[in-house]
Each structure stands twice: as structure tokens, then as C-alpha cells.
């Protein structure tokens, strides 16, 4: 796999509707809104990248941990996958896990 360096510092917000990904950029003196055709998975991928970059999701070594270990890492960080919202959510009590 080749990795490319990217800078998303100017990306302020993302959204998705129908088959369109909305991106809001801070261009200094003005803001720019851009729409691109993209599947919903692109939106979820960007959300996950943002969560990883902010530390909200623990970074796990690539291809080294089975799914059970990934789930254990999320539990240890008091995080769980919210299937209804398609997002990782912080859990306040054990009943919230696996919602």
C-alpha cells in the first residue's frame, strides 16, 4: 500500500445526503462549500478518520488484531459502535455497550 500525505486542516465540516458528500472548507477570509458525488461510506470513512485523528477511537495496528481484540480495545476506552447512528459513541454505563 502506498501512503500519501494529506492536510485536512482546512476541512471544517462534512455531511451527506442522497449520493452527495458535502464538505465545508475554511479558506481564511471566506468559507467554501463543495459537493461531490460519493457513497455514504465515504462520509462514514471521513468520520472515522476524524475520530482516529482526535484520539476518540484507539488506533490499532493494521492487520494485527482479530475482531475480538478490536472490541476489547473499544470497551477499554469506554466506546461502542452505535449501529443506529453509524458512529462510535462514548458509553456511560455497561448497558450502553453494543447498542
Q: Would you place residue 4 in the very low, low, confident or very high pLDDT band (cuts 50, 70, 90)?
A: confident
For 36, phi and psi rounded to 5 degrees? Answer: -130, 140
pTM of this structure: 0.56
For residues 14 and 46, give the distance between their C-alpha atoms in angstroms, rounded to a whole number: 8
For residues 70 and 38, give the distance between their C-alpha atoms in angstroms, rounded to a whole number: 28
pLDDT in tens, 51-84: 888 877 776 665 555 555 555 555 555 566 565 6
User: By C-alpha distance, which of 65, 95, 64 is closest to 80?
Assistant: 95
Which pLDDT score, from 0 to 100, does residue 24 have?
A: 95
User: By C-alpha distance, which of 93, 86, 88, 90 is closest to 42?
Assistant: 86
DSSP letters, the chain, are --------TTEEEEEEETTEEEEEEE-SSSEEEEEEE--HHHHHHHHHHHHHHHTSS----TTTS-HHHHHHHHHHTTEEEETTTTEEEE-SSGGGTT-
Which pLDDT score, from 0 to 100, does residue 49 have?
A: 86
Amino acid at each position: 500500500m502506498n501512503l500519501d500525505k494529506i492536510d485536512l486542516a482546512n476541512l471544517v465540516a462534512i455531511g451527506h445526503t442522497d449520493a452527495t458528500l458535502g464538505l465545508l472548507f475554511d479558506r481564511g477570509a471566506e468559507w467554501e462549500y463543495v459537493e461531490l458525488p460519493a457513497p455514504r461510506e465515504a462520509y462514514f470513512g471521513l468520520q472515522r478518520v476524524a475520530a482516529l485523528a482526535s484520539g476518540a477511537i484507539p488506533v490499532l495496528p493494521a492487520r494485527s488484531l482479530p475482531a475480538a481484540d478490536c472490541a476489547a480495545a473499544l470497551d477499554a476506552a469506554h466506546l461502542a459502535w452505535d449501529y443506529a447512528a453509524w458512529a462510535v459513541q462514548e458509553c456511560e454505563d455497561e448497558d450502553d455497550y453494543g447498542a
